[in-house]
DNA sequence: GTCTATAAAGCGATAGAC
DNA sequence: GTCTATCGCTTTATAGAC
């Protein structure tokens, strides 16, 4: 018999920690909450993350970036059919953010003071997203400058949709906004 | 001689408290920070705000709502020239948010857990903004449904511009996004 | 690798002197 | 109305038993 619970890799604890950070924010997620969310004691958490909360958040953001890289960014960059790729992106984003019910940790951290400690990760995430989307539009014949504008508008628009739908307590607003962002991108492709 | 400092109205402390909340968030703004920001001792703060931090935030949000009502919402609702009113709104918004260097407290609180305590104020703020903008567009001849869509897109887009420009550490992105939002609204008016 | 116990610091909030 | 001192609690982080 091994101990009660053995996690050979700290990565197994990351999803629960991520959800705790998403729910309470960086300052609001206390170690007690993070312990409760992950089912681990403080000793175990510090064994995996000697740097404490900051190292946990760093690892969480890294995993989020990895997930987006494979599920969102790569398909955009390698798209055969740009229009289909954009529709797939919006569907994936809607699923990931639970239709507006889940916060974007990257965007949230960017607003906060804790931003300074994770600025590189946050900036890289959004820069890659915009670049991947712009590349997809260009592959569909959209002029470089126009593609960059539309990509920037769309990524900002998705963040705005998350903020607004949560503020209004209205997830249907998220769906409406995302659908109109999708149409705007498809229109840009159609006009090219 | 009176005491060192006498504030006959608690409203005089609100701007400093607001800036402290904007910088550190609700959880992050400790009483020590709020004291330092306002130049008041804890005793004085509790004299003005017996309900503590929550009452301070409530008063701050109420003052923000008042400011927007007179500086942003009312001009939109009473506009003679919708296009001019929209351009004025974007200029006022850019000034208020320091060109992307200042966070929107309403949007931020909406993302956080503290939202539950201020949901009414946050929801009211955004609902009034969207309604005022839609009304302005309608007064310019835009169809009701289209006006509502464009208003929703624009308010979400402004929040997205704040999130994205902070995340990228690039205030120029805010300026670009706001300008394109302005053009989209003017186009909607021109098409009507 | 897991846990509990503990330390030191900071938190929100209150009491009371002036 | 202002301040300082203080309460009780929670926080992050560490130490050590198992």
A113-132 mean pLDDT: 97
Q: What DSSP character marks residue A98? A: G
Nearest to A77 by CA among A128, A135, A144, A126: A135
pTM of model > 0.85: yes
Q: What would the pLDDT profile of B71-97 be if each residue is shown by its tens digit?
A: 999 999 999 999 999 999 999 999 999
pLDDT at A44 over 70: yes
Q: Is residue A47 part of a domain?
A: no
B49 touches strand D (CB under 7 A): no
Long-range contacts of A81-88 (CB under 8 A, 24+ apart): A82/A136, A82/A137, A82/A139, A82/A140, A82/A189, A83/A140, A83/A186, A83/A189, A85/A136, A86/A133, A86/A136, A86/A182, A86/A185, A86/A186, A86/A189, A87/A182, A87/A186
CA of B90 to C1' of C12 (A): 39
Residue B13 forms part of a structural domain: no
Q: What is the pLDDT of residues B29-52, one digit of tens each?
A: 999 999 999 999 999 999 999 999
Q: What is the CATH number of the domain that holds B165?
A: 1.10.357.10
Interface test with A, best of B108, B154, B156 (most A CBs within 10 A): B156
CA distance B113 to chain A (A): 6
Is residue B152 assigned to a domain? yes
Q: Within a domain: residue B174?
A: yes
Q: Taking residues A163-190, what's their average pLDDT?
A: 98
- Of A103, A160, A167, Cβ closest to residue B123: A167
Query: Touching check for B180 and chain A: CB below 8 Å?
Result: yes
Q: Is B169 on the interface with A (CB under 8 A)?
A: yes
Taking the CA of residue B47 and the C1' sugar atom of nucleotide C13, their distance in angstroms comes to: 12
pLDDT in tens, A165-175: 999 999 999 99
Structural domains of chain A, count:
1
Which sign, positive or negative, has the C-alpha torsion B61, B63, B64, B65?
Answer: positive
**Residue A9 pLDDT more than 90?**
no
**Nucleotides of strand D under 7 angstroms from a protein beta carbon:** 1-5, 10-17
Residue A3 has pLDDT above 50, yes or no: no
> What is the predicted pLDDT for the residue at A103?
98
Mean of pLDDT over chain A: 95
Residues on chain A touching B118 (C-beta within 8 angstroms): none
Chain B nearest-CA distance from A8, in A, is 32
Measure A100 CA to C3 C1' (Å). Answer: 38
| Model confidence band, residue B8 (pLDDT cutoffs 50, 70, 90) | low
Q: Is residue B100 included in any domain, yes or no? A: yes
Q: Would the pLDDT of A92 be above 50?
A: yes
**Model pLDDT for residues B120-129, shown as the tens digit of each residue:** 999 999 999 9
Q: Could you give the count of Cα atoms lying within 13 Å of B15 in the half-sphere of its Cβ?
A: 3
Q: Evaluate if residue B3 carries a pLDDT over 50.
A: no
pLDDT at A50 > cutoff 70:
yes
Q: In this structure, is residue A16 part of a structural domain?
A: no
Q: Is the separation of the CB atoms in B107 and A104 below 8 Å?
A: no
Per the structure, the complete domain to which residue A75 belongs is given by 61-191
- Domain-embedded: residue B36: no
Q: Give the pLDDT score at A1.
A: 39
B41 inside domain: no
User: What mean pLDDT comes out for the span B2-27?
Assistant: 83
* Tens-digit pLDDT profile for residues A147-160: 999 999 999 999 99
The yes-or-no verdict on residue B5 having pLDDT over 80 is: no
- From the candidates A100, A145, A147, A156, which should be mutated to test the interface with B, based on the most B CB atoms within 10 A? A156
Distance separating alpha carbons of residues A89 and A71, to the nearest angstrom: 8
């Amino acid at each position: 018999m091994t101990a009660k619970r053995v996690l050979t890799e700290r990565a197994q604890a990351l999803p629960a920690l991520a959800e705790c950070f998403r729910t309470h924010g960086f300052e609001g997620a206390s170690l007690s909450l993070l312990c409760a969310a992950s089912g681990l004691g403080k000793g175990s958490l510090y064994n995996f993350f000697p740097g404490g909360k900051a190292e946990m958040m760093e690892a969480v953001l890294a995993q989020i970036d990895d997930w987006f890289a494979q599920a969102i960014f790569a398909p955009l960059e390698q798209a055969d059919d740009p229009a289909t790729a954009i529709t797939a992106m919006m569907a994936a984003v809607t699923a990931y953010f639970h239709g507006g019910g889940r916060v974007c940790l990257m965007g949230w951290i960017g607003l906060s003071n804790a931003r300074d400690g994770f600025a590189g990760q946050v900036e890289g995430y959004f820069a890659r997203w915009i670049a991947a989307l712009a590349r997809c539009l260009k592959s569909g014949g959209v002029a470089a400058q126009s593609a960059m504008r539309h990509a920037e508008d769309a990524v900002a628009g998705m963040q705005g949709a998350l903020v607004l739908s949560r503020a209004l307590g209205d997830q249907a607003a998220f769906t409406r906004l995302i659908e109109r962002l999708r149409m705007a991108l498809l229109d840009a492709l159609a006009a090219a």
